Amino acid sequence: MTALLHRYDIEPETFWDAVTTLLDDFFATDYTSHRKLDETAMYLDIVEQELMDFDRSLPRPSGGPAHLTPSQLVSAHKLSLRYADLYSALDAKWSSQAVRRSTLRALQGIHEAYLGSLTETRRGDVLFEVSRHFVNRDLDSYVNAHRVDHQTRIARRGADNRRLDLTVVAGPIWVHDVYRHLLGSSLRGERLRKRYVGGNGADPYRESTERHFLGEPVEKPTDDDVDTALKLWTPEEERSPYCRFAAAVHAATLL
């Protein structure tokens, strides 16, 4: 497939069939490593861009739709059927138990290396809102794998009205500790931040605390309460009583 990318002198049918085969391989693969799945997801983003570029390169008489032969129409239709299932399949692979265990082991390794051993008092399950995208593959993959809310919420924060993409994740309280020490200023997290955080976002390979947000952890309520809280949660409205997810959970449990 790689040999076909960036080539626009090939027949559309050949290109589309190759992408269809690639997607079939992706659907059939059972991922056990979050890093491998993350690598594949990044590659799929490139393929998606290549598809759009290829589509724009097709000749369109009089500015109308591209003229395709019957066999090309069949090829394009088969690809469209695969592509329609791509994101639901990607979500399913991220939420698989194997990938979730992989991300949990990675964060446990980070915790033990920079924050110390886990304690029993920090193993209770919680929910919390957090930035949707991290630079580090392990930190970002945990969010992908343990999202409760699959709708990314866009919020604006700070004097520069910066954009924040937020979601809600579930996990033990020690996972929240990792993000809290990473994005905070505690003495305990100094080594963690030295390893992963860059100054003022100048280093694209390190986290910028100004571009992240972490909410307070709340003990995991019932599924119905979580569903209600997600409906109440409005992070995009700073003056809303439910701007913070913790407040939305509290209101949901009262309701």
Residue pLDDT, tens place only, 25-49: 999 999 999 999 999 999 999 999 9
- Residue 161 falls within a domain, yes or no? yes
Domain count for the chain, please give it: 2
- Residue 109 falls within a domain, yes or no? no
Which pTM value belongs to this model?
0.90
- Residue 163 falls within a domain, yes or no? yes
Cβ-contact 133, 166 below 8 angstroms: no
- Residue 127 falls within a domain, yes or no? yes
Q: What tokens does 48 get?
A: 């998606």
Annotate 208-234 with b (16+ C-beta within 10 A) or e (fewer). bbebbbbbebbebbeeebbebbbebbb
- Among candidates 125, 116, 124, 137, which has minimal Cα distance to 196? 137
Full residue range of the structural domain in which residue 39 is found = 12-57+69-92
Residues 130 and 215 in one domain: yes
Residue 15: how many CB atoms within 10 A of its CB?
20
Percent with pLDDT over 90 in the chain = 76
- Residue 99 falls within a domain, yes or no? no
- Residue 234 falls within a domain, yes or no? yes
- Residue 113 falls within a domain, yes or no? no
Q: What tokens does 225 get?
A: 């309460």
Confidence of residue 1 (pLDDT cuts 50, 70, 90): very low
Residue by residue, DSSP assigns 26-82 as HHH-----HHHHHHHHHHHHHHHHHHHHHHHHS--GGGSSPP--HHHHHHHHHHHHH
